[in-house]
């Protein structure tokens, strides 16, 4: 017979007996089930927390990478901004030099864009300026044989101021107008020693001189455009050999022609620094007021008719 305890409880409803052995057995069974469930949920919770922790670690690693990348980008951006700031400061300094060269007052209270607009000409206005003021070479450029300034005259053998540049050229080299102009002189000029000479009068007080020519193909009073043929080089007058004597004058004051020979759209601003005898501010201000208007069809037809009439009559405008 199994050893066990019996507990008897009496109340108004009667007597109840509890077998201690059976209770212990049930308690153990329920405790085992509880412990199993507790262990199961504990293991599940551990796996869930471990998985969550792994995700957090991955997200943390990704955030660290993103932060490092952002920090690198920030440093790169700051360096780029610093470079841009330096470039803008250099641009502002360069613009100040240009403003000074062309005579504009300091515009420190204006934006950089406004200052640039005040100092620049449009491309069409630049082209017009280079068309109206002597620019570029009058012949195929092969060098300078005698520069602007004091020298020993090759035929008079005495020191004198050379007002132009002697450009290397063979006889019969075509000579072209370096800007739109009216022909002031075209023919032999004995007093100057230039021999056959062409003088062109341009706008804004400029003149160009072409000396020691062999043949002149334009006439006084004739209008010529930039690039028109005006003569052929030679050795007339007081000259020791074939070449072209080329002068640029502003209000009768001689200027160094070399700066104008090399003046193009590419180095447009250089002449402002090199040639300071010219009031560029006034000229540029005048140019900014010029509106470049293309010819209408009727104007082109009219000019074509006039040109045809001139060809028939043999007259030159």
CB of 217 within 8 A of CB of 174?
no
CA 147 to chain centre: 33
Phi, psi of 177 (to 5 degrees): -65, 135
Distance (Å) of CA 292 to CA 36, 138, 209, 231, 299: 97, 25, 28, 30, 15
Token pair for residue 58? 């991955």
Cα separation, 39 vs 34, whole angstroms = 8
Q: Which residue has the higher pLDDT, 167 or 68?
A: 167
Binned at pLDDT 50, 70 and 90, residue 315 comes out as very low
Q: Which of 1-10, 217-226, 261-270 is modeled with the greatest confidence?
A: 217-226
Cα separation, 284 vs 272, whole angstroms = 11
pLDDT, position 19: 64
Cα separation, 122 vs 126, whole angstroms = 6
pTM to 2 decimal places: 0.58
- pLDDT over threshold 60, residue 292: no
Give 3-state DSSP helix, strand, coil % of the chain, rounded to 5.
45, 25, 30
Cα separation, 147 vs 196, whole angstroms = 21
Identify the sign of the CA torsion 271, 274, 277, 281.
Answer: positive
Q: Which residue has the higher pLDDT, 98 or 39?
A: 39
- pLDDT over threshold 80, residue 131: yes
CB of 216 within 8 A of CB of 231?
yes
CB of 177 within 8 A of CB of 206?
no
pLDDT, position 87: 77
Task: Report pLDDT digits (tens) over 13-54.
Answer: 777 666 666 666 777 788 888 888 888 888 888 888 888 888
What value does the mean pLDDT take over residues 161-168?
A: 91
């Amino acid at each position: 017979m199994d050893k066990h305890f019996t507990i008897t409880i009496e109340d108004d409803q009667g007597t109840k007996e509890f077998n201690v052995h059976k209770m212990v057995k049930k308690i153990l069974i329920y405790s085992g089930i509880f412990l199993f469930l507790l262990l199961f949920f504990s293991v599940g919770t551990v796996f869930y927390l471990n998985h969550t922790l792994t995700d957090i670690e991955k997200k943390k690693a990704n955030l660290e990478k993103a932060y490092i990348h952002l920090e690198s980008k920030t440093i790169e951006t700051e360096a780029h901004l610093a470079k841009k700031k330096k470039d803008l400061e250099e641009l502002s300094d360069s613009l100040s030099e240009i403003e000074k060269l062309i005579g504009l007052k300091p515009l420190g209270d204006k934006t950089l864009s406004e200052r640039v607009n005040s100092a620049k000409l449009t491309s069409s206005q630049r082209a017009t300026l280079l068309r109206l003021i002597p620019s570029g070479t009058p012949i195929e450029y092969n060098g300078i044989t005698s520069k602007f300034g004091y020298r020993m005259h090759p035929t008079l053998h005495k020191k004198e101021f050379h007002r132009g540049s002697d450009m290397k050229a063979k006889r019969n080299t075509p000579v072209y107008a370096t800007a739109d102009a009216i022909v002031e002189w075209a023919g032999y000029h004995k007093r100057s020693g230039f021999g056959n000479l062409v003088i062109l009068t341009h706008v804004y007080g400029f003149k160009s001189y072409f000396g020691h020519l062999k043949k002149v193909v334009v006439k006084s009073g004739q209008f010529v455009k930039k690039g028109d043929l005006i003569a052929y080089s030679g050795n007339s007058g007081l000259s020791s050999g074939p070449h072209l004597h080329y002068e640029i004058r502003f209000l009768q004051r001689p200027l160094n022609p070399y700066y104008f020979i090399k003046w193009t759209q590419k180095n447009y601003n250089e002449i402002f620094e090199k040639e300071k005898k010219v009031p560029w501010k006034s000229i540029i201000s005048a140019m900014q007021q010029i509106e470049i208007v293309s010819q209408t069809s009727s104007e082109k037809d009219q000019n074509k008719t006039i040109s045809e009439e001139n060809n028939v009559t043999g007259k030159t405008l």
